[in-house]
Amino acid sequence: MRIPTGIEGFDELVQGGFLADRVYVLSGPPGSGKTTFGVQFLAAGASKGQVGLYVTLLECPQNIINDMSNYEMNVTSLIKMQKLLFADLGPRMEYGYMDELSEFVTPEYNVGKTSAESEAPSPAMVFKEIAAYVSEYDVKRLVIDSISAIRFTSSDFSLQEKEMSRFIRNLKNLGCTTVILSEMTDPTAYSTEQFAAHGVIFMHNFLYDKSMTRAIQVIKMRGTRHDCNMRSVDFTNAGLKIGGYIE
């Protein structure tokens, strides 16, 4: 079943929308429109009665709600109707406290000490909290902002990869259509979450012909015919709008 995204011009690129219950990664630099895409996707479902959950790991939900209230997405009323939910799964008070503490702790003292790290949201902790929300509120659309803020419990790269693959696999079994936002660090090197996801979309914000240009590009989408070229992106009163090819 295809899930219309609510982003004008996007569904036509991907045979009508996302596939239900799948996990997509939306990567892009700051300011490229990831949060807007995410909230617009949730608001489109919420206005048809499907509960949407926006999970923040770095930013305070109120800031996002304020910014998105500039658009005609009915964010405030959808929140009041409990069709649009925001959950702050960012570092807890204790974690902030540990952060402050660590300024006074010498590196030697920190060796072998894992408590500061274990307070950070690990994939397992984040998943557990998300799963509880999903079953309590019957969430159908989920956005995680952003994967870049999740901390691994190990510094071993291969263990981190395993942890991330497991996180994505768990999300695939949640029964909701998920968009994971990620800050793009290197568009030429794929990350574990991009390998593991059913689909990967890039958002660009670059200098083109002396002006900044925004674009979106579908990199991979399993089970879907799509092209991989860049399409222009505009911010309208309704949110993002996808336009034609960028020559």
Ligand X SMILES: Nc1ncnc2c1ncn2[C@@H]1O[C@H](COP(=O)(O)OP(=O)(O)O)[C@@H](O)[C@H]1O
Contact footprint for ligand X (CB under 6 A): 28, 30-36, 67, 70, 235
Given the complex with ligand X, which of 31 and 187 has the nearer CB atom?
31
Q: Is 220 exposed, middle or buried (0-12, 13-18, 19+ CB in 10 A)?
A: middle
Given the complex with ligand X, which of 34 and 198 has the nearer CB atom?
34
User: CA 216 from chain center: how many Å?
Assistant: 15
Shortest separation between residue 96's beta carbon and Mg ion, angstroms: 21
For the chain, give the longest Cα–Cα distance.
57
Cα distance between residue 218 and residue 173, in whole Å: 23
Q: Considering only the stretches 28-36, 84-92, 165-173, 210-218, report the one whose residues sit in contact with Mg ion under the rule CB under 5 A.
A: 28-36
Shortest separation between residue 221's beta carbon and ligand X, angstroms: 20
Q: Is 35 in the site for Mg ion (CB under 5 A)?
A: yes
Q: Considering only the stretches 35-43, 131-139, 164-172, 211-219, report the one whose residues sit in contact with Mg ion under the rule CB under 5 A.
A: 35-43
Two structure tokens written together for 175: 């029964």
Sequence-separated (6 or more) residues with CB below 8 Å from residue 84: 42, 43, 46, 51, 52, 54, 75, 78
Residue nearest Mg ion, CB atom distance: 35
Given the complex with ligand X, which of 70 and 82 has the nearer CB atom?
70
Q: Which does 141 bind (CB under 5 to 8 A by kind): Mg ion, ligand X, none?
A: none
Given the complex with Mg ion, which of 56 and 224 has the nearer CB atom?
56
Sequence-separated (6 or more) residues with CB below 8 Å from residue 206: 212, 213, 215
Q: Which does 32 bind (CB under 5 to 8 A by kind): Mg ion, ligand X, none?
A: ligand X
Given the complex with ligand X, which of 70 and 115 has the nearer CB atom?
70
Shortest separation between residue 138's beta carbon and ligand X, angstroms: 26
User: Could you give the C-alpha distances from 144 to 123, 164, 223, in angstroms and in order?
Assistant: 12, 14, 23
Q: Which does 245 bind (CB under 5 to 8 A by kind): Mg ion, ligand X, none?
A: none
Integer-rounded Cα radius of gyration of the chain: 18
- The residues of the shown chain that bind Mg ion, judged by CB under 5 A, are 34-35
